[in-house]
Amino acid sequence: MTILATPIAEPVVERLDHRKATGIKGNSNNPSNMCVGRRLRVKRTALGISPQELSKQLGIDRNDLNAYEAGARRVSANLLLRIAKLLDVRPNYFFRDYTEEELEGCLERSVD
């Protein structure tokens, strides 16, 4: 099973292959969703953008935005790119400043 081909993900994938992992967990407090949601909320708040305003600009329901920020729902790649553009950040912003161990932990906890 190949998740990502990065120096961070490779050791995780090897361990997961060994355990015969079945797949990636969906929504509901998934650690990687929480990482993205936390950074989304921090940046939105720092820019003084209300949840109502951002959700309107994205064309999504405010409840959906709240779920993304809480990590209860996964942000699609397409939506993440749109959010990054509106918040004037690169997409890697949502994962930047996490240590290798923290990112590895998110990957490990994201697998069934």
Domain membership of residue 7 (yes or no) is no
Domain membership of residue 107 (yes or no) is no
Domain membership of residue 1 (yes or no) is no
pLDDT digits (tens, 9 = 90+) for 22-54: 344 444 567 788 889 999 999 999 999 999 999
Domain membership of residue 9 (yes or no) is no
Contact between 55 and 64 under an 8 Å Cβ cutoff? The reply is yes
pLDDT digits (tens, 9 = 90+) for 63-83: 999 999 999 999 999 999 999
Contact between 7 and 107 under an 8 Å Cβ cutoff? The reply is no
Phi, psi (deg, nearest 5) at residue 22:
-95, -20
**Which CATH number does the domain housing residue 43 bear?**
1.10.260.40
Domain count along the chain: 1
Domain membership of residue 22 (yes or no) is no
Tell me the one-letter amino acid at 28: S
Overall pTM surpassing 0.85 (yes/no): no
Helix then strand then coil, % of the chain, to nearest 5 = 60, 0, 40
What distance lies between CA 52 and its chain's CA centroid? 21
Domain membership of residue 91 (yes or no) is yes
